[in-house]
Structures are given as structure tokens and as C-alpha cells.
Structure 1
Amino acid sequence: MSRTTLPRATSAAGLARTMRIAAGRVAYEVRTYFRQLDQVFFTFLFPVLLLGLFASVFETMTFPDGAGGSTEIPAAEYYLPAMLASGILLSGVQNLGVDVAIARTNGTLKRLAGTPMPPIAYLAGKLGQALVTGVAQAVVLLLVGRLAFGVELPSEAGAWATFAWVFVLGTLSSALLGIALSRLPRSGRSATAVIIPIVLVVQFGSGIFIQFSLLPDWMQQASQALPVAWMALGMRAALLPDEYAALELDGVWNLGGVALALGIWLVLGLVLVRLTFRWIRRS
């Protein structure tokens, strides 16, 4: 046996063990998530309720067409991509930010530090939870939009491929940012008071709740630095007809910009988690 065989075998066995622990952690996190009814309401059902509210109240949205006239879009059609982006943000940033902050201060992470679970398996469990619950939430939103409000969904495979990569990039980057943001609250009791206002401001400033064209010019430009604005743009590009691209800030869907922006936020989230995540909070 060569000298390199044993270390490689040990490394492969360790990787397989970590993957098994991570898979078990994903299942545990998903079960725990759906057992907490308040969490399910505010991060899973809240975007569904908002879609129904906005679609029922506004009925249609009016946009300038660039030629002195205007274009009307059914409100449900406009808000469906926005609520999908909002759901990604809530499941990632808000849910994980609050959850990890509470786990750190109530001793859960300290207890996990005394187990054989490596930190990467715990983090993979959180990311897996965000992906699984995000997929379930997206399916519910799409079904409500189609069945309750008659939103026409795309039939082209390319549109759903765009939806898929925007969803995955957005979910992973939001989840990583939520875990990093969990270091901000001083205690678990203050986590919701610290994180939820940040999430709300980001959504309002990105045109999730308000028609984007009605935002001040400076706010429209500033929103380009926020990941949720790019997630919403990517969702609109995937779900809305091509002619609606003329209503965007630059008159195009700019999917290259979406991929670049979400990729940057994904890398930034990885760096922040690597720098900030600890089993035990240090004073």
C-alpha cells in the first residue's frame, strides 16, 4: 500500500461521513421548521397572503410605455415574481438570521459544538432547509397565481431554466447572508427586532411592495446594490412576456447582470460566514 492511499481513503471516508451528517441535518431542519407555526406563517405563507392582497386590491398596474402612453399589467402578474423574490429573502435572510441568532444565545450551538458534527454539516443543513422550504413556497405561490388569479405561466423550457438558476443563486446567497447577519443581534430575544426591520426596508427599497417605477430615481439606482432587486428582476425575466422588458430600468431583462450580482452576493456571503460563524458567541 502506498503512503498516499490511506490519507486519501481517510479523506474520502470523512467527506462521506460529513455528507451523511449534513443530509440528516437537512431533514431535521425541515421538520423543525414546519413544526413552528409562527415561523411558517411569517416566512412561508406571508408572501402568499401578500400576493392575494395585492392582486385583489390593485387589480391592474399602470406603467409608462416610453411613447407618452401607458401599459396596464394585471397586478397578480406583476406581483407574482416580486413575491417569489420576497419569499427567497424571508426564507434565507430573515428566517435563518433569527433562527441562528436564537440558537447561539440559548445554548443550542454550544451543545452542538460538543458533538461530532462539523460546522460545515450544520451550515449545509441550514442551506438545505432554505432550498427545500423555498421550493415548496415557490410551488404554492405559482399555484395560487395560476389557479386563483389566472396568471399565465411560461411554457418554454428556457424560461423555467432561468427561473431555476435565479432561484438557486438567490436562495443560497440569501441563506448565507442570513447566517452572517445572525451575528448582529446581541441576544436571541432581540433578533427579530434587529433583522425584520432590515428585511422590510430592503424590500420596500427594491420595489417589492411598491411599483418600482414609482420609486424616486435615487432609490431605483440604490436598489441595484441589493440582491433582492436582482432576484425580482430575474423572476420577472423568467415569468413575464418579453415585451415587458421595456418597462425595466434599462429597458432589458439584463440576465447577465442578475447572474453577476447574485454571484457576487453569494461569494460575499461565503466570506462573511467564514469570518463570522462560531459555535459560541465571543464577547
Structure 2
Amino acid sequence: MSTTTPAPTPNAASPAPRAVQKSSLATSLSRNLTLGFSRIKYEVRAYFRQGDSVFFTFLFPVVMLTIFALAFSEQNFGTEDEPLTAAAFYLPGMLAAGLLLSGLQNMAIDIAMERSDGTLKRFAGTPLPIMSYFIGKIGQVFVTGVLQATLVIVVASVAFGVELPSEASKWLTFVWVFVLGVTTSAVLGIALSALPRSGKSATAVVIPIALVLQFISGVYLGFSLLPTWLQNFASIFPLKWMAQGMREVFLPASFEVMEQSESWNLPGVAIATGIWLVFGLIVTRLTFRWIRKDS
């Protein structure tokens, strides 16, 4: 005689496994975000305590804008009908350079130094998630980038009389170019931090890269003055596109024909910068470690 075992009835008091998993993920995400935002405060304070970082990344665009504005104060960068001062001409480039310096240069050197002095190794032994660490770093770049851009624009307007855009569409373009540019620069900085072999070599590796990109991307030299082959080479990298987006915001419409495609090409700015953002995320995912494999 066979007996039939009754099927177990689900316990209404115990949550379904899927619901438990979702709750766990939500709790983990909430914890990571909370730790990440608390790290932003720490990273910003630490940033402004470093005099060399403040000067060479935060104040550097303001210093360079001041130098160019004073050195070429008598020169007209526009036309007789539409004159343009040196300060107005160099403002877009300095804003784009600020994104690169605060993001790529500062981030790459800072993380390389932390890896070299054992800071990242100590983080590996703590419950700090990598996501929270990245939120702190990228948040610091965003906060300092906003402060830096504000300072550059205020100095250009107040000290050198640069006329700022009055159209809301221009400022909307500025916002998305800035947000995309600063995020891309920060992520690329994290990816580039894996290149220096030590903290001592970080500045020697990173600063020349940032400096060359500024010279070939229309920051210090008019982009239209560069040879065609160099313009094509610079178009591979994101700084050229960030500077082009900033020029659309702050330069007269007549300057559009001086661009490589004779247009501001804002869709191209978004696509090229977005591609570099994805590339940076992939490289960071593949290379970032609390501890170097060869250490």
C-alpha cells in the first residue's frame, strides 16, 4: 500500500526568496550610497588641504586665463564688426582644461599615490565597497569642478568684462557638456591611475599627457590654426570635443565656421565624449585593484 506525501504548504510568514534578495540588494545599495556620499565630504576636504593640487588643478585655469588676458589685452581675436577680447577667446578652453585637470590629471595622480603609500591596501582590509570609494572620488571631482568653473567664469566676467550668454539654451548646453565632461574625465583619471608604476612616477607620467592634450585640443592655441593632420589626431581624444562644446556656449556664432566641420556639432560632442566615458568604465573595471598584482 503506497502513501502519498502531501505537498508542503508555503509558509505565509516567511518572505519569498526573490523578495529577500531584492531587499538585500536595496539595503546594500543604500549602504554603498551612504558611505559614498560621506566619502565625498572627506575627499573634498583632503583635496583643499593639498596646496600643490589646489594650485595646479583648481587655480591653474584661472591663472592661465589671467596671463593670456593680460598678455594679449591689445589684440582683437574677432573681427572689426564683431571684436573679441583675449579673455573671451580663451574662456571656453580654460573651462575645458579645468575639467581635464580636475578629473583626469588630479584623479590619476591621487589614486596612484594612494596605491603607492598603502592607502588602497588598507582600504582592502576594511568593509569600504569599491563603489563607495568611486562615488567619493567622482563626487569630489564634480564638487571641485563646479567651484572651479564658477570661479573661472566670475573672474572672466568681473575682472575682464567678458559678456556671458543670455540665452537659456546656451546655459543648458553648458550644463550637459560640463556634467558629461567632468564625469568622463574623472573616470578616465581612475583608469589612467593604473599606468604609473609608483606614486613617485605618477606626475611624470600623467602631467605630460594632460599638457599635450591641452596644446593640441584648442585650449592654448586656436584649433583652426593647427595642421589638418593634428586636428584629426586631436579629434580622437575627448578634450577637443569638450572644448568645442564650451566654444559653442561662449563664442559668437560667427566662430562656428572655424571648427573642423564648420559647425559646433554638438551631437558629435556628446557621442565622442560618451564613447570615452564607456571606454574609461571598461578599463577601470578590468584594471582597478586595491592592490597591484605585481606589488
Q: TM-score range by the shorter chain?
A: over 0.9
Give the equivalent residue in structure 1 for 2:236. Answer: 225
Q: Which moves more between the two structures, 248-257 or 137-146?
A: 248-257
CA 1:187–1:61 in structure 2 vs 1: closer, same or farther (change >3 Å)?
Answer: farther
Rate the CA distance shift 1:199–1:61 in 2: closer, same or farther, 3 A.
Answer: farther
Q: CA deviation at 1:170?
A: 0.6
Q: Which sections of structure 1, spanning at least 5 residues, go unmatched?
A: none
**Alpha-carbon contact 1:61-1:78 (below 8 Å) kept:** no
1:53 aligns with 2:67: yes
- 1:36 aligns to 2:47 (yes or no): no
Map of 2:188 onto structure 1: 177
User: Residues 108 and 192 of structure 2 are in contact (CA less than 8 Å); yes or no, is this contact kept in structure 1?
Assistant: yes
Tell me if structure 2 keeps the 8 A contact 1:87–1:134. yes
Q: Could you tell which deviates more after superposition, 150-159 or 133-142? A: 150-159
Report the CA distance between 1:241 and its aligned residue: 2.5
Q: Distance in 1 between matches of 2:286 and 2:16?
A: 37
1: distance between equivalents of 2:48 and 2:186? 17
In 1: Cα distance, 2:283 partner to 2:122 partner: 23
Q: CA deviation at 1:62?
A: 4.0
Is 1:265 the equivalent of 2:279?
no
SS of the counterpart of 1:185? coil
Residues 80-91 of structure 1 mapped to structure 2, 5 A cutoff:
80-91=91-102
- Cα deviation for residue 242 of structure 1 reads 2.0
Q: Contact 1:62–1:70 at 8 Å: present in 2 too? A: no
Of 87, 104, 124, the residue aligned with 1:113 is 124
- Alignment partner, residue 263 of structure 2: 252
- Coordinate RMSD, CA, aligned: 1.5
Tell me which structure has the larger Cα radius of gyration.
2
Alpha-carbon distance between aligned partners in 1 of 2:233 and 2:21, rounded to the nearest angstrom: 50
Match of 2:41 in 1: 27
Cα separation, partners in 2 of 1:225 and 1:10, compared to 1, 3 Å:
same
Question: Structure 2, unaligned stretches of length 5 or more?
Answer: 1-14
Q: How does the TM-score come out when normalised to structure 2?
A: 0.91
1:131 aligns with 2:142: yes
- CA displacement at 1:61 relative to structure 2: 4.9
Q: Match of 1:162?
A: 173
Output the CA distance in 2 between the equivalents of 1:128 and 1:239: 26
Q: Give the aligned partner of residue 31 of structure 2.
A: 17
What is the CA–CA distance in structure 1 between the aligned matches of 2:219 and 2:81, rounded to whole Å?
A: 21
Residue 73 of structure 1 deviates from its aligned partner by 2.6
In the alignment, does 2:202 pair up with 1:188?
no
> 240, 255, 264: which is aligned to 2:251?
240
Q: Which residue identity does 2:217 align to in structure 1?
A: S
How far did residue 46 of structure 1 move?
0.6
Which residue of 205, 215, 222 corresponds with 2:226? 215
Distance 1:96 1:76 in 2: 28
